[in-house]
Amino acid sequence: MVAVALGLFYLGALACIYRILLTYRTAQGAIAWIIGLLGLPYMAVPLFLLFGRHRFGGYVKARRMGDEALTDLLNRFEQQTTSISPGDRQRFTDELQVLCKLGRQPFTEGNRCTLLRDGEATFEALFEAMEDATRYILLEFYIVRSDRVGQRIKSILERKLAQGVEVWFLYDDIGSVWLSRSYLNQLSAAGARVASFGNGNIRRRRFQINFRNHRKLLVCDGKVGFVGGINLGDEYLGTAMDQEPWRDTHCRIEGPAVTGLQLTWLEDWNWASNQGPELDWAPENNAPGDDRVLMLPTGPADDGETCALFFLNCINNARTRVWISSPYFVPDLQIMNALQLAALRGVDVCILIPEKSDSRLINLAAYSYLVQACKTGIQIYRYQPGFMHQKVVLVDNRYAAVGTANLDNRSMRLNFEITAISTAPHFINSVESMLEEDLDSSRLMTESDYRERSILFRLSCRAVRLLAPLL
Domain identity same for 23 and 106: no
Alpha-carbon gap, residue 342 to 339, rounded angstroms: 5
Domain identity same for 275 and 359: no
Domain identity same for 151 and 113: yes
Domain identity same for 147 and 19: no
The answer to whether residue 298 is domain-embedded is: no
Query: For the chain, what is the HEC assignment?
Result: CHHHHHHHHHHHHHHHHHHHHHHCCCHHHHHHHHHHHHHCHHHHHHHHHHHHCCCCHHHHHHHHHCHHHHHHHHHHHHCCCCECCCCHHHHCCHHHHHHHHHHCCCCEEEEEEEEEEHHHHHHHHHHHHHHHCCCEEEEEECCECCCHHHHHHHHHHHHHHHCCCEEEEEECCCCCCCCCHHHHHHHHHCCCEEEECCCCCHHHCCCCCCCCECCCEEEECCCEEEEECCCECHHHCCCCCCCCCEECEEEEEECCCHHHHHHHHHHHHHHHCCCCCCCCCCCCCCCCCCEEEEEEEECCCCCCCHHHHHHHHHHHHCCCEEEEECCCECCCHHHHHHHHHHHHCCCEEEEEEECCCCCHHHHHHHHCCHHHHHHHCCEEEEECCCEECCCEEEECCCEEEEECCCECHHHHHHCEEEEEEECCHHHHHHHHHHHHHHHHCEEECCCHHHHCCCHHHHHHHHHHHCCHHHC
User: Does residue 456 surpass a pLDDT of 90?
Assistant: no
Domain identity same for 122 and 232: yes
261/243: higher pLDDT: 261
Domain identity same for 144 and 66: yes
The answer to whether residue 182 is domain-embedded is: yes
pLDDT in tens, 259-317: 999 999 998 998 888 677 888 877 666 778 899 999 999 998 888 899 999 999 999 99
Residue range 41-52: average pLDDT?
68
For residue 207, what pLDDT is reported? 43
Residue range 2-30: average pLDDT?
70
Domain identity same for 311 and 459: yes
User: Does residue 202 surpass a pLDDT of 50?
Assistant: no
The residues annotated as belonging to the active site are 214, 216, 221, 389, 391, 396
The answer to whether residue 40 is domain-embedded is: yes
By mean pLDDT, which of 164-178, 229-243, 272-286, 356-370 is the weakest?
272-286
The answer to whether residue 384 is domain-embedded is: yes
Q: What is the CATH number of the domain that holds 133?
A: 3.30.870.10
For residue 350, what pLDDT is reported? 97
The answer to whether residue 372 is domain-embedded is: yes
Residue range 106-120: average pLDDT?
93
For residue 205, what pLDDT is reported? 42
Q: What is the pTM of this model?
A: 0.87
Q: Which domain holds residue 45?
A: 2-52
The answer to whether residue 300 is domain-embedded is: no
Check: CB of residue 131 under 8 Å from CB of residue 219. no
For residue 96, what pLDDT is reported? 87
pLDDT bin (cut points 50, 70, 90) of residue 440 is: very high
Domain identity same for 61 and 196: yes
Work out how many domains the chain is built from and give that number. Answer: 3
Residue range 246-270: average pLDDT?
93
Domain identity same for 237 and 349: no
268/5: higher pLDDT: 268
The answer to whether residue 339 is domain-embedded is: yes
